[in-house]
Amino acid sequence: MDQTHIDALRSLPVAPCRHLIEGQNVPASDGGVMDVVSPIDGRVLTQIARGTSADMERAIASARSSFDDGRWAGQPPGARKKVLLKWADLIEANALELAVLGVRDNGTEIAMALKAEPGSAAGTIRYYAEALDKIYGEIAPTAEGTLGLIHKEPVGVVGAIIPWNFPMMIGAWKLGPALAMGNSVVLKPAETASLSLMRMVELAHEAGLPEGVLNAVTGEGAVVGAALGKSMDVDVLVFTGSGATGRRLMEYSAQSNMKRVYLELGGKSPNIIFADAPNLDEAAKVAAASIFRNAGQVCVAGSRLLVEDAIHHDFVAAVVKAAEAMQVGDPLDVRTTIGAVNSETQLAANLGYVATAQKEGGAVVTGGTQILQETGGYYMAPTVVTDVTADATLTQKEVFGPVLGVSAFKDEAEAIRLANGTVYGLAGGVWTSNLGRAHRMVKSVRTGVMHVNTYGGADGTVPLGGVGQSGNGHDKSLHAIEKYINLKTAWIKL
């Protein structure tokens, strides 16, 4: 990465962002706009359209029309593949521009953003483009004289609601398989991180995606998100975000057409350190990175650190040392390892969790405060809290910030009990040299992803999904395609 090039891109004005409906950039129907405040310096960066219910209904109608007339679903697989591959190429060609735009919008440090956002998005789109013509139907084993065929068809219109922490990456997790299977999509980006995702949608049209197949409406979740959830013309709804919003979307489904709803929700993921970990120094550095990168704003962040009694004191000291060595600051500085918190509201919530933890007996051993106030931006020191009990708020509630809660355990059984002691089940990790113990922990910890002697970094070939109140269904891998197809049986008498 070239800092000079990054600085040149960050100085460019950002044009106001409109909806993208039927291939055209259009304003909100009532002319409403919302300020985009950059977490880097707290200043207004640009504006996005404040969508109305009518705007969302127009976008849904466009998607429905495009699906029904077959302008995309009716194209042969090779034609769809060609468009998606070109889209991936365009994302890759504009990677730095997209990454810088996204960082100005949501505050992720540029080194992470470049790889995790356009880099990941291009790879995801390319993966599903290559997969789409390899998804076959089936022939059932039936009695002589009959033929059972199982067809795999697109579901129709997909509504996708995307969060603010990694909008391009998570957006691609939904858009890639949905579009590859021939569906039409209506996209609703997060209010505090719409810009890079909306630009990515524009690139899809530059790649040749037919008008109306991918529509995007910006605005408030309570307005345009609700309209998407309640629509009778949306067949599947996919969402990544909070449990509270996920529950509302399920209610909207029940109130409307009982559309399928797939949710990737919160996590309170345990990172479990046994005394026989193969490399405790590495484990400490990875433990710090797993919670503090992107200012803790990662769904699978290792936000609970469970440490065996015998090494607790020394290991916590090593984590604190690693945390304090990380550089918090301007996310567009290539030397920064922890960027900005996404918004003033999120920063206040983070600090509130730290205050609650202290009231409940937790000890803040580093961090716990807002820093760099002189920038006008939203920055928080990486925070480690020890003596966190099993029923503490910091154990039970997702902070979604750079706050690590530490608890000690005596043996394997207690580690499992603590790990499974929340309503969540998104990710987890275990560090041990004992192969049998590693397998037992993978089996016993109730979670969708389990890391062994590492944390994070799984690629698009494996699924990501949660259990419990971390959601249902899977993003990534070929398994994600299952959300975006219907199975149809043809029972034929021969």
How far apart, in Å, do the first and last CA atoms of the chain sit?
Answer: 64
- Give residue for tokens 């979604």: 400
CA distance 73 to 410: 57
Active site residue 138: no
- How far are the Cα atoms of 146, 196, 232, 304, 383 from residue 323, in angstroms, in the given order? 66, 29, 49, 15, 8
Largest CA distance in the chain: 79
CA distance 316 to 266: 25
Question: Given this model, what pLDDT does residue 458 score?
Answer: 80
Q: Are 121 and 150 in contact (CB under 8 A)?
A: no
pLDDT under 50 in the chain at which residues?
none
Phi and psi torsions of 398, nearest 5°: -75, 125
Q: Side chain identity at 439, as an amino acid letter?
A: H
Domains, the chain, in order of start with CATH, read 3-265 (3.40.605.10), 270-458 (3.40.309.10)
Q: Are 325 and 369 in contact (CB under 8 A)?
A: no
Active site residue 299: yes
Q: Are 99 and 154 in contact (CB under 8 A)?
A: no
DSSP state of 460: T
3-class secondary structure, 377: coil
Structure tokens at 493: 């008498």
Q: Side chain identity at 294, as an amino acid letter?
A: N
CB neighbours of 224 closer than 8 A, spacing ≥ 6?
A: 51, 52, 53, 55, 56, 188, 217, 218
Catalytic residue among 264, 308, 398, 412: 264
3-class secondary structure, 474: coil
Structure tokens at 405: 């809660």
Catalytic residue among 299, 308, 398, 412: 299
